[in-house]
């Protein structure tokens, strides 16, 4: 149990650091992020379980937004909703046994993340349906970033031996 807490703590810290780092990267769309922090959430999802990935996700969103000065702002709500929907989509893709690769799971997560973000932004910040004109661009970016993130997760999945750090059960 102690090892699991250490692993989740370490992955939470790494996710928060990547989240904060990404806030300094110029964005083509204001609330769009690269999503590199999600590498660690997907790793926890495939290596440990859904609830552990959810813990890392909540830590990333709350602490990342706290350190960015955005906690409990509309941006926080947009980030949280996108992250939760992405995790659910990735979890169901893995559990579905439809043969999704890690890259496919990552693309699906990025897509659902961006769709949730744009939907919440529409109802919380932008009172015009014109925001949905960004959907094609966001879907294209979801594919690109999902591929990059998925490849990184695939490589790390092969390199990181969780059984040495944490034993299930």
- Tell me the domains of the chain and their CATH numbers: 2-165 (1.10.1760.20)
What band does 143 get if pLDDT is binned at 50, 70 and 90? very high
Q: Please say if the pLDDT value at position 55 is more than 70.
A: yes
Give per-residue pLDDT as tens, 97-122.
Answer: 899 999 999 999 999 999 999 999 99
User: Helices 102-124 and 74-95 meet at what angle, rounded to 10?
Assistant: 150
Asked if 132 and 118 count as a contact pair (C-beta separation under 8 A), the reply is: yes
Closest by alpha carbon to 60, among 41, 34, 32?
A: 41
CB burial string 16-41: b at 16+ within 10 A, e below:
bbbbbebeeeeeeeebbbbbbbbbbb
CA gap 60, 67 in Å, rounded: 10
Q: Please say if the pLDDT value at position 47 is more than 70.
A: yes
pLDDT above 70: percentage of residues in the chain? 92
What band does 26 get if pLDDT is binned at 50, 70 and 90? confident
In degrees and rounded to multiples of 5, residue 151 shows phi and psi of -65, -45
Q: What is the pLDDT of residue 63?
A: 96
Q: What is the pLDDT of residue 94?
A: 96
Across the chain, what does the average pLDDT equal? 90
How long is the chain? Answer: 169
- pTM of this prediction? 0.89
Give per-residue pLDDT as tens, 66-100.
Answer: 998 889 999 899 999 999 999 999 999 999 989 99
Q: What is the pLDDT of residue 83?
A: 95
Asked if 124 and 14 count as a contact pair (C-beta separation under 8 A), the reply is: no
């Amino acid at each position: 149990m102690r090892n699991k807490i250490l692993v989740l703590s370490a992955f939470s810290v790494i996710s928060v650091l990547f989240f904060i780092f990404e806030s300094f990267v110029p964005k083509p769309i204001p609330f769009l992020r690269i999503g590199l922090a999600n590498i660690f959430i997907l790793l926890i999802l495939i290596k440990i379980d859904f609830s552990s990935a959810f813990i890392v996700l909540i830590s990333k969103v709350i602490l990342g937004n706290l350190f960015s000065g955005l906690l409990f702002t509309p941006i926080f709500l947009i980030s949280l909703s996108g992250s939760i929907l992405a995790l659910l989509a990735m979890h169901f893709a893995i559990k579905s046994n439809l043969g999704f690769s890690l890259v496919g799971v990552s693309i699906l997560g990025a897509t659902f993340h961006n769709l949730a973000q744009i939907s919440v932004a529409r109802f919380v910040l932008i009172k015009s349906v014109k925001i949905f004109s960004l959907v094609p661009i966001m879907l294209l970016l979801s594919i690109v970033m999902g591929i990059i993130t998925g490849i990184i997760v695939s490589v790390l999945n092969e390199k990181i031996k969780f059984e040495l750090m944490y034993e299930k059960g």
